[in-house]
Structure 1
Amino acid sequence: MQGLKRQGKYSGVFVAVIAATVLTLPLSAYAADDPTPGSSEGGSPGPAAPADVKITTELPGKITVENKSQQTSVTAKVKNSGSKDSGPITLSVVGFDGMRITGVEGCVPIPEARLPQGSNSGFACVIDNLAAGKDRSYRVAATFDLHKTGKICLPVTAGTGDKLIWQQGPVPFGTSQPTPNAPDTPLLLGTENVPFGPEKPPAAELPRTGTPDGTLPLGLAALALLAIGVTGIWWTTRSER
């Protein structure tokens, strides 16, 4: 019982520190798309995925980009379909090529120098625990340059280390029928975008991050804590248990 009390106290301290230091993100102007139905397309378990904790992510099957402003919004969901709680995990949202992540509610930006190769933006969302059978959704603000292709990646790592337990993507959003004169353009998950404008030379394939099997062991949980300067508090409370 005493151990449970200490665990609850440290979890509370950790969450309070994160909440007090996360930057306020300008997301109120964006209405997040509800991922119904959501899709785990392009996702697979990482090498550190435990058998009794089934972590997956979902993205909406369709998003809409405003042609003039290039603004869009996404709902990123992480869920635990396993039989046991996850413990501390980190969900990261990373943009590639024409898709740039501008904010994720309740999450911290990944420093530019720490972004994975080929990406242009990213945010890390630290979760103290995801109970069995539960999920959590995050409102993601982004821009999409319709003159380019664009991809998004959702890796999930364990605790504050670099152990990858799940990764979705980089998976494309796009359309095969551009509508440059319309107010907005619908993009489908898993569809390579056909850019607006004059024909351009084929772009080189986006660099794949991580190991050859497509995983992305970024260690972004630790990066999120480094970004807000509270790594010492997290590791101190863990070591005292």
Structure 2
Amino acid sequence: MDAYTRLPTLFLSHGSPMLAVEDTPAGRFLDALGAGLPWPKAVVVASAHYAAEAPALGAAVRPRTVHDFGGFPGPLYRIEYPAPGAPDLAERIAALLAEAGLPARLHEDRGLDHGVWVPLRRMYPEATVPVVPLAVMPHGDAAAHRALGRALAPLRDEGVLVVGSGGFVHNLGDLDWARRDGPLADWAGEFADWMRAALAAGDWPALLDWRRRAPHARRAHPTAEHLMPLFVALGAAGDAPAVRTLHRSHEFGTLALDAFAFD
């Protein structure tokens, strides 16, 4: 096996699909992020926008770019991100998941949803790094997603970057379009601060029980799929990872765009 530098795992908040093209703090952060990491041989992205009842992986040779959103400017729908797939890696991951008692399905026709291609387009604009999408499970809890991530931990030593792409605070129903750059709503800020403190303290039991313990949890995440990629990335980093805050910004009062590395 080739020798690789052990990679961190990442949680990235992808916010609006406009992150792909707008000049924002989150966008500029992602522009610099790829160059600041060891170059990966492939990227596995657990995306909030790929949902399955049980573990699932995209195994397309040439995954299409999926524009899974509506109501945005026309040019956004013409963007293509022609990164190659990695069917062999998808099979390797499926084997790791099976060893962990988590058998996975391979979807050979799965494209790259915007939770995958929007951040990767800014990190790796050349679209040369192979990509494997990984599903989140809407009915699975934080512990289930951490277990999913744990099965991926060997990939860190194989040159594979494991990314969770979601949203740190993600409530579309309460968006305040008049405060693009204003502060987070009080309740959103209280939830984000609780999560940041728990991550910094390594309080994994509290984090896994976030629905009951975090303030305003159900308002911060009316549905949980945007937070579950965090637990995949956390699990893939091992039992007691160091947590590094890479970025903080926010939009429209209810979208916190924090990003973290787990080593």
Scaled by the length of structure 1, the TM-score of the pair is 0.27
Structure with larger Rg? 1
Q: Which has the higher helix share?
A: 2
Higher relative contact order (CA 8 A, sep 6+): 2
